[in-house]
Chains A and B, each alone.
Chain A
Amino acid sequence: MAWSRKSAMFASLALAMYLLGLTLRNQQLVSVAVVIFVFLTYAALFSGHADVAASGKRANEWEGEEGIAFSNIVAMRKLSSARLFEDGEVKITLRVQNKSALSKIVEVRDRVPEVMRIKEGANYIIMELGPRRETFIEYTIETPLRGFYTIGPVSIRMQDTFGMFHKEKEVQVYDDFLVFPKMEDLKDTFVKSKVPKIFTGAVNIRQPGPGSEFYSLREYFQGDEFRSINWKAYARSGKLMINERERDAVSDIILIVDSRAVAETGPVSRNALVYSTRAAASLAKYFLSRRDSVGLVVYGDEIISVDRDTGKKQLYVLLTKLAGAMAKGEVPLQVVVNRILPHINKGSPIIVLSNLESDPTIVNALRDMRARNFDVTVLSPSSLEFEFDARRLDSIGYEVLKTERDVLISELRSLGVFICDWEPDMLLSTALAGARGF
């Protein structure tokens, strides 16, 4: 049984009055003290602060009316979805049962992660739960940020009607769910591999060959397919012209996401890491839909990598890794490059998502990549802009840092790296097009 501040105040007041009454020989004060003591005793004894023996179970573990326990309150929870995207909604159903033969006034609070917003209903309920009755509490939360989250425990509190004493138990029932970064729909990323793989696929490699995309027109040679003749061009020029198509191939795309501590500079919902993970998710979805192999490297305090693969399953593997990316550590890009380059096919496109801050190895790392003929694209969400937008950076500081950043970007561009200084209001596809010089 826990005391509230109110009961502590009443008890202190009663004690003080009792002692003062004896000191001043004032019977009235002693009488008031006695009445307060009685009041407290009544609240403690008779106001139904029952034993809150409680147990938690998941809904699927529930097996019916077995083991009716004394004064038992059971809580179970069900989530509408265990995996969803940012700005999605989860409907939570909490089932609370009173297995006791007496009705109880209980306060139930289901603990929700702090970043979540409650959209409908409430996770804090005060109710009178009748004997052997159950109730369903439904509420909906919004998930504004990616990550792994846990809902629970359920706090159940019973207190007397005067709010003097309470008993509280935490029902250890937890439910996990995963929030993926939201994705932008990309039309064309302008990222094309120069090196074909053995099996043809849907990726254009800027070489004429069997494929679906138009590449150029050329004169007809003996042996060309008759159906490739461009009759309109023939009509114009009087020569038989052939439609050449761009060669398709499956290519390996490597996404490198910077999740060092510095990547989280800026407001919680608008920082380089948030933008990088969203961009990586969008790019992964786009490339996988083209039947490319996509691999992922997330580096922060350690290097987490997902091997290249194709298909929908790979998308969820990548999304899961991106959802769990935490801004920690300061592993330099050079370490990542040294570790992964030997395992990547030469010429494969590599997309680096980093704010390019606090890493002295960036220039060397990207130079190494270019030296091995990798097609390197850097999308750099600018932490400066996030900080500046949030008015945490004054204009002089901003201009100085911006100049330094521009110098770095120019240096990287001179290495042959496609780079875009990605500002907060810019669409991903625009940033990507800007990086590729279109």
Chain B
Amino acid sequence: MVTSNNQPQIPNQNNSTSHLYDGKTVRAAAPSRKKAAGSLKSSTEIPKDAIPDVQIPSFVESLLGGPIVPKIKFLPPDKIVKNLQLFSYGILMILTFLTFLTTPSSGTVWQSIIGTGVITDSIHLIILTSAGLAGLYSIKVRDPRWMLASYLLFIFFGLRFASSQVTLAWGSGDGDVFDLDKNTWMEMFLVVLYAVSLVMYLELTNSVIRFSMLDTSIKTNEVYVMNVKNIVKKYYKSIIINPIVAGILATLVLSINTIIPYFIGWFSSETALRLENSVELISVYGVAIGSLVVFGIVGLLFAINLPLRIQKYREKEKVKELKS
């Protein structure tokens, strides 16, 4: 119907009344009630189609973020989702390899129950393989339940009593191709790489679900996205910058046993040397101190409301740029 400002639409003035009564066939005579009554069952149950179908994302799906959209079967993946799936496969491979590399079976629950041996190593490998396979399957079918299973298996695999310092599966014996046992920087690099790849795996697999949901919503006209390319470009940019920043900060935290003695060395080389060899500083507690220092600074930045100040600064700069 054509609408105009402040003028109501008058329904069609002809004899047709099909627009009335919800498009039902309109008869001049009343239908036979008895016939209708006879054809119906005596059940008082509310028919299923009378109940509105309200679908809310499950708890697992909501953990994965994204817009709140009705749960519907995912449509075939579009280019963005396919790309993200490919990235996820890649990062899963790297993660599985790094997990295998950085997580020996020593100190695990199954080792403490069964003891050292082939069975323990087999269980160790089975858990890792299961985590990898669950991940592969979840990425392929875009099923958040399998994704969660994969996350839990990877985390469970890493839970071990590790006697404070980093120990690598390839860090000793004949298998130590890269001489990791002696190369502490390489050790640290691998641990940081492992941590970053685990977090990236979590994020990328999340994004597969998130963008699938978004894509489905776009195709079902629930949401309209303007400048999709720009939005996706920003996401790609973030998934490159963020792990780099996370990696650098994690390296700083893990290098606390080098950084603190370096500063102390300006005042006393002897104390610096003692600190370098300190069992506490090179152990997990050193990392804890490092993270406390780093996050203390971060907390301070939040306390002074840095995000807003950065935003203001960027706004001002942009205004200046536009004026000039």
Q: Contact residues of A with B, CB < 8 Å?
A: 4-6, 9-10, 13, 17-18, 20-22, 24-39, 41-51, 70-71, 80-85, 87-91, 100-102, 105, 107, 118, 121-122, 124-128, 131-132, 135, 137, 160-164, 180, 182-185, 267, 269-270, 278, 316, 319, 385, 388, 390-399, 402, 421, 423-427, 430
Contact = CB atoms under 8 A, between A and B. Distances in A.
B47 interface: yes
A342 to B, nearest CB: 34
A46 B206 CA distance: 20
Interface stretch (B30-38, B77-85, B122-130, B173-181): B30-38
Contacts, number: 296
Contacts of B234: 105, 128, 161
A122 B222 CA distance: 6
A80 B5 contact: yes
A24 B162 contact: yes
A31 B195 contact: yes
B133 interface: no
Contacts of A26: 107, 158-162, 284
A90 B246 CA distance: 50
Nearest to B49: A391
B91 to A, nearest CB: 14
B315 to A, nearest CB: 5
Interface string B22-65: 10111111110100111011111011001000000000001111
B249 interface: yes
B155 interface: yes
A270 B22 CA distance: 9
B14 to A, nearest CB: 7
Given A34-B195, A88-B1, A82 B6 contact: yes
B235 to A, nearest CB: 5
B191 A423 contact: no
Given A22-B284, A35-B246, A71 B161 contact: no
Contact of A87 (B19, B31, B194): B19
B8 A124 contact: no
Interface of A is mostly: mixed
21 contacts: A13-B155, A31-B287, A35-B192, A35-B198, A42-B246, A43-B242, A44-B302, A45-B307, A81-B4, A81-B7, A82-B5, A88-B8, A90-B3, A102-B311, A125-B223, A137-B224, A163-B65, A395-B37, A421-B30, A423-B30, A425-B25
B269 interface: no
B295 interface: yes
A42 B295 contact: no
A425 B28 CA distance: 8
A38 B192 CA distance: 12
A125 B226 contact: yes
B158 A34 contact: no
B149 to A, nearest CB: 15
Contact of A27 (B162, B225, B306): B162
B303 interface: no
Nearest to B214: A126
Contact of A39 (B26, B62, B192, B199): B199
Given A24-B162, A163-B210, A35 B196 contact: yes
B258 interface: no
A31 B5 contact: no
A162 B65 contact: yes
A164 B315 contact: no
Interface stretch (B134-142, B163-171, B260-268, B270-278): B163-171
A388 B37 contact: yes
B312 interface: yes
Interface of B: 1, 3-11, 13-15, 17, 19-22, 24-31, 33, 36-38, 40-44, 46-47, 50, 62-67, 102-103, 107, 155, 158-166, 191-192, 194-196, 198-199, 202-203, 206-207, 210, 214, 217, 221-227, 230-231, 234-235, 237-238, 241-242, 245-247, 249-250, 253-254, 283-285, 287-288, 291, 294-295, 298, 301-302, 306-308, 310-312, 314-315, 318-319, 322
Contacts of B62: 5
Nearest to B33: A402
B311 A164 contact: no
B246 A39 contact: yes
A183 B287 contact: no
B230 A128 contact: yes
Nearest to A390: B50
Nearest to A132: B322
B99 to A, nearest CB: 9
Contacts of A37: 291, 295
B316 to A, nearest CB: 8
Nearest to B206: A6
A90 B191 CA distance: 59
B253 A50 contact: no
A162 B3 contact: no
Contacts of B64: 6
Contacts of A124: 67, 217, 222-224
A128 B62 CA distance: 24
B68 to A, nearest CB: 10
Contact of B253 (A34, A90, A118): A34
Given A128-B230, A395-B38, A426-B27, A38 B155 contact: no
Contacts of A163: 65-66, 206, 210
Nearest to A165: B307
Contacts of A125: 223-226
B38 A91 contact: no
Please indicate which of the listed interface residues B9, B231, B245 has the most CB atoms of chain A within 10 Å of its own CB: B9
A13 B214 CA distance: 26
Given A35-B195, A38-B245, A28 B31 contact: no
A162 B65 CA distance: 8
A36 B199 contact: yes
B1 to A, nearest CB: 6
Contact of A31 (B3, B160, B191, B230): B191
Given A22-B288, A37-B295, A396-B42, A122 B224 contact: yes
10 nearest CB pairs, A to B:
A163-B65, A127-B226, A101-B318, A6-B65, A122-B224, A38-B246, A26-B162, A35-B195, A25-B164, A81-B3
A89 B40 CA distance: 37
A28 B14 contact: no
Contact of B203 (A38, A39, A89, A391): A39
Contacts of A392: 44, 46, 50
Nearest to B227: A128
B65 A4 contact: yes
Contact of A24 (B14, B65, B160, B202): B160
Given A24-B161, A122-B223, A182 B11 contact: yes
